[in-house]
């Protein structure tokens, strides 16, 4: 399939998904000089982008009609299926040579299905979920986990580098498989950080000194850098919701069962995140994990 070079002022960019992270990512692409067309279910969210020149349209199909590269950054695989593959979805109107880039944390099987249907239309797709949270989205330091055709991932570099750093993982679905493994690791890190902070508090330690003391040793981690102070300050503003961790770890357990991979830690972390949802805290950020540990220890 023929694909033109991606350049600001020439390549038309579509964006669907303007939550906490998607909005920041889209803004960085726009700031680099790319013209952006956006579909948002809540148009008020994108008023600042529209004031800076972005176009707002009424459907995913309209994005596909007007754009060369379309990004999706949505909540759930079911949203991706509807927005991309639905009767009025992006793919129904994307012209041959167009590229779909799904940055949602989704299912490897869906990424493969989208790739197959895009290829049948003379288009292309890349699954490119991200890690780094809202801070990474704002600062353009996200880890982008890309699956699909390697040459297409390379072609997208002028866009990816506005948002972070892309790593090519393999064929369609590989990016999503990597993101699932990433979420398994993130949950374990947040679980350990939460338990460590609760224990330190119970032991009478100054928790800020505790974090500073362990940060340079084997316990040091990106989780501490991103979330340690936020946990202490009760800053649970979401980069990714706790509800999303329930979803992501659920996908990990489903994929693990399919591949006969035992994931006992992930099962426990999912249950604790699910307890947050049951307690009405599902819209807290993933660092809100500490509230589940505090609740078990009568610290709330």
Active site residue 155: no
Cβ atoms of 198 and 231 closer than 8 Å: no
Query: Can you spell out the DSSP letters for 44-99?
Result: GGGHHHHHTT-EEESSHHHHHHH-SEEEE--SSHHHHIIIIISTTSGGGTPPTT-E
All residues at 6 or more sequence positions from 298 whose CB lies less than 8 Å from its CB, including other chains: none
Distance from C-alpha of 25 to C-alpha of 106, rounded to nearest angstrom: 18
51, 175, 244, 280 from 276: Cα distances, Å: 38, 28, 12, 6
Identified catalytic residue from 112, 179, 209, 271? 179
- Collect all residues with Cβ–Cβ distance below 8 Å to 41 and sequence separation of at least 6: none
| N- to C-terminal Cα separation, the chain | 58
Residue pair 250/270 in contact by the 8 Å Cβ criterion: yes
Which residue has 């072609």 as its token pair?
155
Q: Tokens at residue 123, please? A: 């288009």
Q: Do the Cβ atoms of 156 and 126 come closer than 8 Å? A: yes
Residues known to be catalytic: 179
């Amino acid at each position: 399939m023929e694909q033109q070079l991606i350049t600001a002022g020439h390549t038309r960019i579509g964006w669907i998904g303007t939550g906490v992270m998607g909005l920041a990512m889209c803004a960085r692409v726009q700031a680099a000089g790319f013209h952006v067309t956006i579909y948002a279910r809540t148009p008020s969210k994108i008023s600042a982008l529209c004031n800076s020149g972005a176009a707002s349209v009424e459907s995913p199909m309209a994005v596909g009609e007007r754009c060369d590269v379309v990004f999706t950054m949505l909540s759930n695989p079911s949203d991706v299926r509807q927005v991309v593959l639905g009767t009025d979805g992006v793919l129904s109107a994307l012209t041959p040579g167009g590229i779909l880039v799904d940055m949602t944390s989704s299912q490897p099987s869906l990424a493969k299905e989208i790739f197959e249907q895009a290829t049948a239309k003379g288009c292309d797709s890349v699954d490119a979920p991200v890690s780094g949270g809202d801070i990474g989205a704002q600062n353009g330091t996200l880890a982008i986990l890309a699956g699909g055709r390697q040459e297409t991932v390379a072609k997208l570099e002028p866009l990816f580098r506005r948002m972070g750093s892309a790593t090519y993982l393999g064929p369609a679905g590989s990016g999503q498989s990597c993101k699932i493994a990433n979420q398994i690791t993130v949950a374990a890190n947040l679980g350990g950080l939460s338990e460590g902070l609760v224990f330190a508090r119970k032991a009478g330690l100054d928790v800020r000194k505790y974090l500073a003391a362990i940060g340079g040793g084997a316990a040091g981690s990106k989780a501490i850098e991103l979330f340690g102070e936020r946990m202490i300050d009760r800053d649970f503003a979401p980069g990714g919701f706790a509800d999303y961790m329930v979803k992501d770890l659920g996908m990990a357990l489903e994929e693990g069962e399919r591949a006969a991979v035992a994931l006992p830690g992930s099962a426990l972390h999912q249950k604790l995140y699910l307890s947050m949802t049951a307690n009405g805290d599902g819209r807290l950020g993933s660092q809100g994990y500490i509230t589940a540990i505090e609740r078990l220890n009568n610290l709330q």
